[in-house]
């Protein structure tokens, strides 16, 4: 069957077209064959206060479409622009595959797939941004700039 297949943990919560649903006490699986249905697992949700990096901004934009907080018409252009910028940043890295997947998904209005493609980048981006920035004195920079 084509479409989205979600494997759910016991008592896992998720949104379907903005309605909060919960799985029962056992593992379960749901198949969503209709492309017009928006599904969002609560385990995939990031809080608005956590939207403080480029990848998180694009992820959150896709998330709020799935939650039903905004329509795709209002946010799709922001997602595409954000993904274009991320493609520039990740161009010569193996992570460009994730960005390309997210761009293809966004082009087809498959916003859950955008989340799936970007989710691994959230941790990588967090680790990269946590690295200390090297400090150079102006004396060290002058010879490099003169070359």
List, for residues 114-131, the tens digit of each pLDDT value: 999 999 999 988 888 888
Asked whether residue 50 falls in the same domain as residue 106, the answer is yes
Render pLDDT for 45-101 as a digit per residue (tens, 0 to 9). Answer: 999 999 999 999 999 999 999 998 898 888 999 999 999 999 999 999 999 999 999
Asked whether residue 120 falls in the same domain as residue 52, the answer is yes
Beta bridge partners of 15: 20, 40
Render pLDDT for 2-35 as a digit per residue (tens, 0 to 9). Answer: 577 888 899 989 888 888 889 899 998 888 877 7
Asked whether residue 32 falls in the same domain as residue 66, the answer is no
Q: Which of 44, 61, 76 is the last residue of a domain?
A: 44
Does 139 map to a domain?
A: no
Q: Which domain range does residue 1 map to? A: 1-44
Does 141 map to a domain?
A: no
Number of domains in the chain: 2
Asked whether residue 3 falls in the same domain as residue 54, the answer is no
Q: Is the pTM of this model over 0.75?
A: yes
């Amino acid at each position: 069957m084509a479409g989205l297949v979600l494997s759910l943990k016991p008592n896992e919560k998720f949104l379907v077209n903005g309605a909060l649903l919960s799985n029962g006490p056992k593992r379960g699986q749901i198949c969503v064959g209709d492309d017009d249905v928006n599904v969002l697992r609560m385990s995939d949700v990031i809080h608005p206060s956590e939207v403080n990096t480029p990848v998180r901004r694009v992820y959150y934009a896709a998330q709020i479409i799935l939650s039903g907080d905004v329509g795709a018409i209002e946010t799709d252009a922001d997602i595409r622009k954000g993904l274009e910028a991320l493609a520039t940043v990740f161009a010569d890295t193996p992570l460009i595959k994730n960005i390309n997947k997210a761009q293809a998904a966004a082009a087809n209005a498959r916003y859950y797939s955008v989340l799936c493609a970007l989710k691994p980048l959230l941790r990588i981006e967090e680790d990269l941004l946590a690295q200390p920035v090297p400090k150079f004195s102006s004396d060290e920079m002058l010879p490099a700039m003169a070359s």
